[in-house]
Amino acid sequence: MKPRRTEALLDSAWSKRHLIVATAILLAVGLYGSMTTTPVRSIFPYAFAAGLVAWKHGVAAGFLFAGLGTLSALATGAFPSNEALRGHELGEGLYTYLKLSAIVLGVALGNRLRQ
């Protein structure tokens, strides 16, 4: 039996909600970091956004949001995390992307095992 048109639209809207929430989280973290003198250095808001997208939309979209989270952290001044690491922003950015990518893979694997 084919799903009705309204059910398909509701499924599509629910699917897009995850993207909107994840984007809002990254924007809120970015705004907070740019409005205060202390950037958000915790990985949890960025990981939550990337994991939420990976859960619903898969690994590729999760990797995209991991990259967006890394760029958001870079733009707000979360790198360098220590004064001794000044000048090594590229390395810290890659390490942050690696951590977020590992979270995306773990969430996608957990979703696959759940099904």
Q: Which two tokens stand for residue 11?
A: 């499924």
Q: How many domains does the chain have?
A: 1
Higher pLDDT, 110 or 93: 110
Higher pLDDT, 84 or 55: 55
The percent of the chain in helix, strand and coil, each rounded to the nearest 5, is 80, 0, 20
Which residues have a Cβ under 8 Å from the Cβ of 39 and sit 6 or more positions away?
33, 73, 76, 77, 78
- Across the chain, what does the average pLDDT equal? 82
User: What pLDDT, on a 0 to 100 scale, did the predictor assign at position 103?
Assistant: 95
Higher pLDDT, 78 or 113: 113
Give the separation between CA 53 and CA 62, rounded to whole angstroms.
5
Answer for the pair 99, 62: CB distance below 8 angstroms, yes or no.
no
Which residues have a Cβ under 8 Å from the Cβ of 59 and sit 6 or more positions away?
104, 105, 108
What is the dihedral angle through the alpha carbons of 91, 92, 97, 100, rounded to the nearest 10 degrees? 150
pTM: 0.80
Give the separation between CA 99 and CA 31, rounded to whole angstroms.
22
- Domain residues for the domain of 12 are 5-114
Q: Which two tokens stand for residue 47?
A: 């990981």
Does residue 12 have a pLDDT over 90? no
- 114 pLDDT band (50/70/90 cuts)? confident
